Structure 1
Amino acid sequence: MSFALGPALLFCPADRPDRYAKAAARADGVILDLEDAVAPADRVAARGALIDSDLDPERVIVRINPLDSPEVEADLATLSQTDYRRIMLAKAESPRQIGRLDPRFEVIALCETARGVAASEKIARQPNVSALMWGAEDLVASLGGTSSRKKGGGYRDVARYARSRVLVAAGAAGIAAIDAVHLDIADERGQRREAKDAAASGFAATACIHPGQVEVVRAAYRPSAAQREWARGVLAAADTSAGAFRHRGRMVDEVVLRQARILLARAGR
């Protein structure tokens, strides 16, 4: 399975159908959330709203409750009454259980606990999994911690480790990786810095919790004019060169050419 959405994915509580269309129009994909964003008492109404909704299924992800939750059976039964087939599995931990899900569903596995991160390589190899995402706060809570970030705003080492491990697990399996949300909505500078790092590192998308974060993420993933000019130039130079060659003082081989193609593909997207 391949992940075909753009770089900015926006969460929307599933019990707020008044926001569905706006969220879908604003972002590259909307994540309708049946888990943490919805109070348990409101989940029945949220499922009804999902059934009644008419968004483009190609641009919708539905986050469902963990597989060991008493809520998940109702979540999946609800989805069977809709055209939505792309699910985000909260607190994904068991590759075997994920592999046994109804094959109609494309799974984005959210590795956000210690067990989930530790199993990310096996989860990524399940044939119904199209992408991995990681989450910082649930991870730290699963370890008995209280904060994923240092005073200055950067991630603690354990969060950075989980982020890297999930990214590498996804890459090794040939599927996409999605970067975690930036919870400080007012911290546009920090959001931009993390999204730029995500794009440069190989993430396919970043999840957002507020519409104001969408354009910040899109801009961060969009190659600059200088990057596009360099990519076109180095690929043009490759047409008249054999093997490794020098371009603007830098040695260029197939790996560098692949990076140039990635930049131009992102620019086109």
Structure 2
Amino acid sequence: MPDDPRRIDREEPAVAHLDHQAITAVEARGLDPHRLAREQPGDRGRLEPALGEPLLLAAHGDAVLIVRANGLDTPWGRADVAALARAGADAVLLPKVESPGMVREAVDALAGAPAALALWCMLETPRGILNAAAIAAASPRITALVMGTSDLTKELHARHTPDRLPLLTSLELCVLAARAAGVAALDGVHLDLDDDAGFEAACRQAVALGFDGKTLIHPKQIAAANELFGPTAHDVEWARRVIAAHAEAAARGQGVALLDGRLIENLHVEDARRAVALAEAIETLARR
């Protein structure tokens, strides 16, 4: 994951359109990053006019602003990406990415954009999943892979099941590609807003698989996603003890430590440092 404390990808809520009321409603709920999305290509008039309002894209404080463009397979995709190059967003969310060539096309359209402008690639087709590793490595601008689980389920002719068994291979391939490229991996949305237990189960599954966060469809899901993807107080306490125990062992010239009967090696210290860094970044955001 990126080192910037603002970029904690525990949740990525989607605002349906670029309007001030929707943005305010999301920001009031304590999000980390968020995206502004248009899912309906026929609603063409909403993206570029909104991007012409610098105040709209600048008035978000410390929130990370990700704007979803139309796909490059549509008549408007390249123009959307080009407009975003100068709009002041933090990242462009590109849907239905299927190949490194599509990434290169998007990067070409971003010519002249700030070096910090990131590209997030959605994987929501079989071809995209099978090319995930090549996509993730296609440009230094890429900082996240985002699963599009709803469209992918449709494309696979699969069923929506509570355990998401039909998607497990695809989910794991996304995480593998993200880890190999050193970028973040975000799980797909949970569509049933009344299914709190199912949402929690999907989040726990995503955490177990190695995802950094989850895309959301409603602000009501933010608090639960933050809690489930963030380290618990017990996790942080244990992580600090692991780091301290290993440091004491290293001072004695030992490569491993024993803590509460458990063997502690370098790999455990790396995990512990990651947990502490995430907890500290979350705390920093909470104070802002």
TM-score, normalised to structure 1's length? 0.88
**Whole-angstrom distance in 2 between the partners of 1:165 and 1:203:** 11
* Cα drift, residue 156 of structure 1: 2.6
Work out which of the residue numbers 45, 52, 66 in structure 2 matches 1:61.
Answer: 66
* Cα drift, residue 73 of structure 1: 2.9
Structure 1's unaligned 5+ residue stretches are none
Amino acid in the other structure paired with 1:33: A
Work out which of the residue numbers 157, 165, 172 in structure 2 matches 1:156.
Answer: 165
**Whole-angstrom distance in 1 between the partners of 2:272 and 2:173:** 25
The aligned counterpart of 2:247 is: 239
* Cα drift, residue 223 of structure 1: 1.6
* Cα drift, residue 177 of structure 1: 0.8
Corresponding residue SS for 2:52: helix
The answer to which of 115-124 and 234-243 deviates more is 234-243
The 1:171/1:80 distance shift into structure 2, 3 A limit, reads: closer
Aligned 8 A contact 2:96 2:124 in 1: yes
**Whole-angstrom distance in 2 between the partners of 1:261 and 1:73:** 40
Corresponding residue SS for 1:186: coil
Work out which of the residue numbers 78, 92, 95 in structure 1 matches 2:83.
Answer: 78
Corresponding residue SS for 1:239: helix
The aligned counterpart of 2:215 is: 207
Corresponding residue SS for 2:180: helix
What CA deviation, in whole Å up to 9, does each residue of 1:121-163 have, x standing for no partner?
Answer: 00010222111111212112223x153x22xx12033x11111
Aligned 8 A contact 2:245 2:258 in 1: no
**Whole-angstrom distance in 1 between the partners of 2:76 and 2:91:** 18
* Cα drift, residue 97 of structure 1: 2.6
1:106 aligns with 2:107: no
**Whole-angstrom distance in 1 between the partners of 2:52 and 2:28:** 19
Aligned 8 A contact 2:172 2:209 in 1: no
Aligned 8 A contact 1:51 1:81 in 2: no
Amino acid in the other structure paired with 1:112: E
What CA deviation, in whole Å up to 9, does each residue of 1:80-111 have, x standing for no partner?
Answer: 45212511110001202312322524210001
TM-score, normalised to structure 2's length? 0.83
**Whole-angstrom distance in 2 between the partners of 1:258 and 1:73:** 40
Amino acid in the other structure paired with 1:76: V
Q: How many residue pairs are counted as aligned between the two chains?
A: 261
* Cα drift, residue 15 of structure 1: 4.8
Amino acid in the other structure paired with 2:198: G
The 1:70/1:225 distance shift into structure 2, 3 A limit, reads: same
Corresponding residue SS for 1:162: helix
Aligned 8 A contact 1:244 1:254 in 2: yes
1:20 aligns with 2:42: no
The aligned counterpart of 2:271 is: 259
The answer to which of 59-68 and 211-220 deviates more is 59-68
Structure 2's unaligned 5+ residue stretches are 282-288
**Whole-angstrom distance in 1 between the partners of 2:3 and 2:123:** 17
Aligned 8 A contact 2:47 2:80 in 1: no
* Cα drift, residue 3 of structure 1: 7.0
* Cα drift, residue 165 of structure 1: 0.3
**Whole-angstrom distance in 2 between the partners of 1:3 and 1:50:** 27
Amino acid in the other structure paired with 2:48: R
The aligned counterpart of 1:44 is: 45
The 1:139/1:239 distance shift into structure 2, 3 A limit, reads: same
The answer to which of 111-120 and 200-209 deviates more is 200-209
Aligned pairs for 1:168-247 within 5 A: 168-241=176-249, 242-247=254-259
Aligned 8 A contact 1:3 1:175 in 2: no
The 1:203/1:44 distance shift into structure 2, 3 A limit, reads: same
Corresponding residue SS for 1:133: strand
Amino acid in the other structure paired with 2:165: R
